[in-house]
Amino acid sequence: MKEVLLIVAAYLIGSVPTAVWVSKLVFGIDIREYGSGNAGATNSFRVMGSRWGTFVMIIDMLKGLVAVKLAYLVPFYVDNETARTGFQIGLGLAAVVGHIFPIWADFRGGKGVATLFGLVLGISPWSAMCSVGVFLLVLYLTRFVSLSSILASIAFPIFIVVVFNFDNHAYRVFAIAVALLVILTHQKNIGRLLKGCESKVPILKYRDRRKERRKV
């Protein structure tokens, strides 16, 4: 019974529509009516700029991180690592579902990548930080959040299975499923990337301006 209540709590935590509330309170708009129409970090960068996009991304990550930590409220999982990891995956996924289908925002949310990262950060911090390194490197080179998310998600199971050799089979399957899920939810972004019409986020603008001045 405790597990069911905690999964519901994780869903409600994930349902906090950060991008929607920020866009309405700060900008007086509903972010779902602008850009890609998603209430997530990528569209927040695109519509509200790097400062508020970063804020949304951090809060959405914390939703996944807090959700997996709920497992420690049940004594059985404190000393049972294998069972705890399985339960944490369930809690984290409940938060991701909440982010994608938030009860507080008419069930219209984002794609859940930031919340997924928070989930991973809560279970295996080193693999999460390596994936974030891939994300930041690709973002620096391209300024495409979507491409950064896709490549970081593909790198994640490689870190889990090959680099760190995580011996929990359920978590290995989960890592591969994460990569497939991110690719699946970014099909439109992939299409725009291939067509060359995907929007870049408004970061590193000064670097780009310097390059343009050098060309002149």
CA distance 60 to 40: 8
49 φψ region: left (φ > 0), alpha (ψ -120 to 50), beta (else): left
Q: pLDDT tens for residues 10-53? A: 999 999 999 999 999 999 999 999 988 989 888 898 899 889 99
Distance CA 112, CA 118 (A): 10
Indicate the range of 12-26, 58-72, 92-106, 121-135 predicted with least confidence.
121-135
The tens digit of pLDDT for each residue in 166-208 reads: 888 888 888 898 889 888 888 888 998 999 888 787 665 555 5
Specify the pLDDT at position 77.
93
Q: What is the largest CA-CA distance in the chain?
A: 67
Per the CB < 8 A criterion, the answer to whether 61 and 114 are in contact is yes
Mean pLDDT of the chain: 88
What single-letter amino acid sits at 129?
M
Q: Give the Cα separation of 34 and 156 in Å (integer).
A: 30
Q: Which residues contact 208 (CB under 8 A, 6 or more apart)?
A: none
Q: Evaluate whether 179 touches 156 at the Cβ level (below 8 Å).
A: yes
113-122 mean pLDDT = 90
